Structure 1
Amino acid sequence: MTMILRHLTVDSSEPYELARFWSEVTGWPLSDEDVPGDDEVLVEAPSPVPGLLFIRVPEAKSAKNRLHIDWVPDERTRDEEVDRLTALGAKLFEDHRTREGMGWVTMQDPEGNEFCIERSTIERNA
């Protein structure tokens, strides 16, 4: 028996606002059913990629994530993507770039959830 990964679910204090941030990051749309103030908001990914579901929880994030997403830019370099995400409201958390151009950057979204930006597809193929 197999299973299909439907959503990656993220606890949030403000689901709609965080989903809007991630919609800007990914270029994926919010569900047409979601409105500001909803307790659950879905960022719809292109099939077969799982969507990002943000759900309201009463407690704030208190520790480093045990699971995070690694992203590979497709249209920009890693460093251009880091700059773009910083302008959207992400924060640099840990910088693992090397002088030789290798490595990745760990960032935090506006609610402090960690994610990584790796070298782009173009950079990997160069």
Structure 2
Amino acid sequence: MVSSINQVTFDSRDGYALAQFWAEVTGYIEDPRYPNAPEDEENFIGPDGGHPGLLFINVPEGKTIKNRLHLDISPDTTRNEEVERLLGLGATIFEDHRKEDGSGWVTMLDPEGNEFCVERSKAERGE
């Protein structure tokens, strides 16, 4: 027997706002049967509103240390175009690991400081 991943959960100060940010990043949507709201303690988004998805739970404390787990995303466009789009959504660059030969990645922070990496797209990797 094995277990499947149902969702990845983020502790957050404002789960609703963070769910909105990540919905813009991923294209995930809320479950139409359980719409998200600013006053909710938990906010969920997933592919077509289903699982596996991302769950954002409100907690009183802010993030203080490096995440032990993070998401790696691969854009439909180029890595550099996606980095620019994410900056416009409120992400910030934490560490830039892009190399002159086009390889590498960019470590970014979401609006609450959670790390995630933007990798090259499949096309950029020749896939």
TM-score range, shorter chain: over 0.9
**Identical-pair percentage:** 54
2:10/2:54 contact within 8 Å kept: yes
* SS in structure 2 at match of 1:124: coil
RMSD of aligned alpha carbons: 1.6
Residue aligning to 2:89 = 88
Which shows bigger deviation, 48-57 or 34-43? 48-57
What TM-score comes out, normalization by structure 1 length? 0.94
2:96/2:105 contact within 8 Å kept: yes
1:20/1:30 contact within 8 Å kept: no
Q: State how 1:16-35 maps to structure 2 within 5 Å.
A: 16-32=16-32, 33=34, 34-35=36-37
**Cα distance 1:49–1:119, how it changes in 2: closer, same or farther (>3 A)?**
farther
Alignment deviations for residues 3-25 of structure 1 (CA, whole Å, 9 cap, x no partner): 01000000000000000000011
- Per-residue deviation, 1:31: 2.7
* SS in structure 1 at match of 2:123: helix
* SS in structure 2 at match of 1:122: coil
* SS in structure 2 at match of 1:63: coil
* SS in structure 2 at match of 1:22: helix
1:71/1:116 contact within 8 Å kept: yes
Residue 79 (structure 1) aligned with residue 80 (structure 2): yes
Structure 1 residue runs of 4+, over 3 Å off? 46-49
The alignment covers a number of residue pairs equal to: 125
2:29/2:49 contact within 8 Å kept: no
Q: State how 1:41-56 maps to structure 2 within 5 Å.
A: 41-46=43-48, 50-56=52-58
What TM-score comes out, normalization by structure 2 length? 0.93
Give the letter for the 1:18 counterpart.
L
Residue aligning to 1:114 = 115
CA distance in 1, matches of 2:81, 2:8: 26
Alignment deviations for residues 59-89 of structure 1 (CA, whole Å, 9 cap, x no partner): 1100110110111112x10000000000000
2:92/2:108 contact within 8 Å kept: yes
Residue aligning to 1:37 = 39
2:18/2:112 contact within 8 Å kept: yes
Structure 1 unaligned regions, length at least 5: none
Give the letter for the 1:120 counterpart.
S
Give the letter for the 2:45 counterpart.
V
